Amino acid sequence: MMSVKIRVTGIVQGVGFRPFIYRIAVKNGLNGYVRNMGDAGVEVLLEGKGENIEKFLKDLKEKKPPLAEIYETITWSLEGKKKYKSFAILESSEEAELSGSAIPPDIAICGECLKELRRLEDPRYEYFFITCTNCGPRYTIIERLPYDRKNTTMQEFPMCSFCKSEYKNPFNRRFHAQTVACAKCGPKACLTTKKGELIRHKNPIQEAGRLLSEGLIVAVKGYGGFHIATATTEDEPLVRLREVKHRRQKPLAIMARSFESMKSFAEVSKEEAELLTSYARPIVLLNKSNNYFLSDLIAPGLHNIGVMLPYTGLHHMLFDKVDDPAFVMTSANPPNQPIIKDNDEALRKLGSTVDYFLFHNRQIDHRCDDSVIRSHDNHQAFLRRSRGYAPAPIILKEKGKRCTLGLGGELNNTACVLLGNKVFISQHIGDVENIETRDFLKNASEHLIRLTNSKVETVACDLHPKFTTTKLAQDLAEENGWQLIQIQHHYAHIAALMVEHGVKEIIGVCCDGYGYGLDGEAWGGEILFCTWKFPDFERLAHLQKQPLVGGDLATRYPLRIATGILHRKADVQSWLLQNQQHFPYGEKEIEIILHQLEKRSKIIETTSCGRVLDAVAAVLGVCYERTYEGEPAMKLESAAIKGRDVLKLKPVINGGVLDTTQLLLEVFENRRGYSKADLAYSVHAYLARGLAMLAIEKALENNVKTVGFSGGVACNKILASVMRKVVEVSGLEFLVHEAIPPGDGGLSFGQAVVAGFS
């Protein structure tokens, strides 16, 4: 007889891990117990024959539940004689010794639950919140660890005798499933008017689906917050939705009724299919197919569309009584505010936006937006890493020196905690410009610190003196006695890439819209040399500086940037006058712009790659006004998708500076000679080749073997793939982000690793 104790850490709570341990212990004839250890994983005590313990350990490794992830298993032998007569699952331990066990993200409805949802004789037939140990909400309902029902927002729903019998049966799929519920004991759904008046219907969810199909706008409460939903095949509901949401052009995500129906309007590759049907069920950007028949108002001017599959019983049931191929499902958030999660808040803030509400009465403890991913052939680029992923940690190859909180930048923000070799990135927070998003960031950070039991020593933020997050970092540092470290924006991007892959040095190409430079200027097209000598880096090269006439106005109206770049080389006046309707103040405004450029005084300059793409979009007439972040550049990529490199321009490089003036001039002069698609593609090819050549040159000079690409512009598939080709042909390794967003959603990670490894 032998006796051992095993400590398992990883994603082992809320994923059916203890029942699994129970089953393999019983199967192998072992006695003892298993219990949750708060944030320290689970503890197993085994008594039995040595060979059976061996078999148990083998099963532990090979047969673990689909959602479980094991980071570490520590086993030690115990003295003493036989104490246990059977194997038991003990109550959770209140003690929390170690830190950093993982909290599972919300998981899409599993195949077995879906079958039960549809089986007439099943006790949970058409019960919208059907879940089991393999599926259902987790992060959004967990108030504290250990993950037991009493510590979640399911505590308000005592189990009925049927649910309890399943919960207690170790051989049932719902054994210790904290979210188990049925129509009798669980949360209920209800349909109301926009004023909150109850509409009686025996199946409010199917009725809501019918209203959607008719073109009405319904706010639908889900796992992590409200969606605003409507039909996709007619323009009228979308015109109305865009009007009330004040979204003129920004693409809206849709939910397809099934995988089959999705293929009727979009192209789906093997990689994309895998992402779409994964446990996380993210929104995936798919190319519209040649037979695309949904409204053009869903993603105006873009070649792709954000699609997801239903991920709860409720979503599936919305499609029951209608034959719509898809519904719009966009996050319900008022401008610059976080996604709405509470019923009363929804009534207050959305009452004038929607026609109906589909509520349920389970509280959402933590809001969480849908994730958005784009597949670049064999690589995935996160545009937003949130539901289904957050807050599961990213495991690094090395341990950080100090526990660090990273607060990110300003737009598309996240927070993150570095603890040892794990980085916990929060859900999507959004643009942190006002009090609501600032508070959301603060709460999400505090929750993350609590759940991971982190003892933060350092807080990291951006170098920008005026960011809300910089101010928040200063306040937190003062309040808690933490050390404050400010990190340059593009360095954070490249450091994130380097640490994500565990490479020791890298020449990083970082392209985005804007970041505060070491010199206080506006950077955004940078070649940096980074090593593990944190926090040191070198800026080796960049794009040519170009004037931003009118500062922020130039970002909003890209014709201003184009004018700034072209005015010395070409006669732009008559061209501008032809386009005067695209300037809010017409001719007068053009006159002032040209006058400012002549004087050349007090004009801010930028090396931003995003701004160059914006300028090209304006010259080609693809986009004249930026109504959402990245719009001109995204539309330019869409224009380029079927183009060829007709200009075949040779990159002009002078002393570590890649020329962009000649590039824009060529586009300007040839704008009538070639198609928009070919010119747009030629620009992508020039920039990708030029940046790659600069990076290769610097890699050879510094004897570095790896080149990487980060920043929001790295979501651009054409740039990433051309750059990859050029770099790989030269024999160097080319890296992009896989697990964290290349855009500013990955910034908190970069800041935390720079500060935490310093």
116 binds, among Zn ion, Fe ion, none (CB under 5 to 8 A by kind): none
Q: Are 287 and 87 in contact (CB under 8 A)?
A: no
Enumerate the H helices of 600-675 as residue ranges.
609-619, 631-640, 661-669
592 binds, among Fe ion, Zn ion, none (CB under 5 to 8 A by kind): none
The verdict on 116 binding Fe ion (CB under 5 A) reads no
Helix, strand, coil % over all residues of the chain, rounded to 5:
35, 20, 45
Q: Are 426 and 444 in contact (CB under 8 A)?
A: yes
Which residue from 141, 127, 106, 723 is spatially nearest to 391, judged by alpha carbons? 106
Among 39, 324, 512, 678, binds Fe ion (CB under 5 A): 512
* Residue placing its CB nearer to Fe ion in the complex, 279 or 491: 491
Residue 734 and residue 702: Cα distance in Å, rounded? 16
Pattern of binders to Zn ion over 98-137, x per CB under 5 A? ------------x--x------------------x-xx--
* Angle of CA points 318, 347, 322, to nearest 5°: 15
Total number of residues that touch Fe ion (CB under 5 A): 2
Q: How far is the CB of 186 from Zn ion (least distance, A)?
A: 6
Does residue 204 have a cis bond before it (omega within 30 degrees)? no
For residue 132, list its beta bridge partners: 135
Among 744, 751, 753, 754, binds Fe ion (CB under 5 A): 744
Contacts of 656 (CB under 8 A, 6+ apart): 527, 540, 541, 542, 694
Report the first-to-last Cα separation within the chain, whole angstroms: 49
Nearest residue to Fe ion by CB is: 512
The verdict on 526 binding Fe ion (CB under 5 A) reads no
Residue 617 and residue 620: Cα distance in Å, rounded? 5
Q: How far is the CB of 8 from Zn ion (least distance, A)?
A: 22
Q: How far is the CB of 511 from Fe ion (least distance, A)?
A: 9
Pairing verdict, β 326-331 and 379-384: unpaired
Residue-wise DSSP of 724-739: HHHHHHTT-EEE--SS
* Residue placing its CB nearer to Zn ion in the complex, 16 or 251: 16
Identify which range of 116-124, 143-151, 421-429, 504-512 contacts Fe ion by CB under 5 A: 504-512
* Residue placing its CB nearer to Fe ion in the complex, 18 or 374: 374
Among 26, 160, 603, 657, binds Zn ion (CB under 5 A): 160
Q: How far is the CB of 710 from Fe ion (least distance, A)?
A: 8
* Residue placing its CB nearer to Fe ion in the complex, 39 or 512: 512
* Residue placing its CB nearer to Fe ion in the complex, 224 or 515: 515
562 binds, among Zn ion, Fe ion, none (CB under 5 to 8 A by kind): none
The verdict on 185 binding Zn ion (CB under 5 A) reads yes
Identify which range of 158-166, 225-233, 531-539, 561-569 contacts Zn ion by CB under 5 A: 158-166
Q: Are 165 and 181 in contact (CB under 8 A)?
A: no
Residue 408 and residue 397: Cα distance in Å, rounded? 22
185 binds, among Zn ion, Fe ion, none (CB under 5 to 8 A by kind): Zn ion
744 binds, among Zn ion, Fe ion, none (CB under 5 to 8 A by kind): Fe ion
Residue 160 and residue 124: Cα distance in Å, rounded? 13
Residue 566 and residue 168: Cα distance in Å, rounded? 73
512 binds, among Zn ion, Fe ion, none (CB under 5 to 8 A by kind): Fe ion
* Residue placing its CB nearer to Fe ion in the complex, 512 or 589: 512
365 binds, among Zn ion, Fe ion, none (CB under 5 to 8 A by kind): none
Q: How far is the CB of 166 from Zn ion (least distance, A)?
A: 9
Handedness of CA 285, 289, 291, 295 (dihedral sign): positive
Which single residue is written with the structure tokens 């199909």?
Answer: 213
Q: How far is the CB of 704 from Fe ion (least distance, A)?
A: 22
* Residue placing its CB nearer to Zn ion in the complex, 185 or 594: 185
The verdict on 410 binding Fe ion (CB under 5 A) reads no
Question: Directed axis angle between helix 609-619 and helix 559-566, to 10°?
Answer: 100
* Residue placing its CB nearer to Fe ion in the complex, 512 or 631: 512
The verdict on 163 binding Zn ion (CB under 5 A) reads yes
The contact set with Fe ion (CB under 5 A) reads 512, 744
The contact set with Zn ion (CB under 5 A) reads 110, 113, 132, 134-135, 160, 163, 182, 184-185
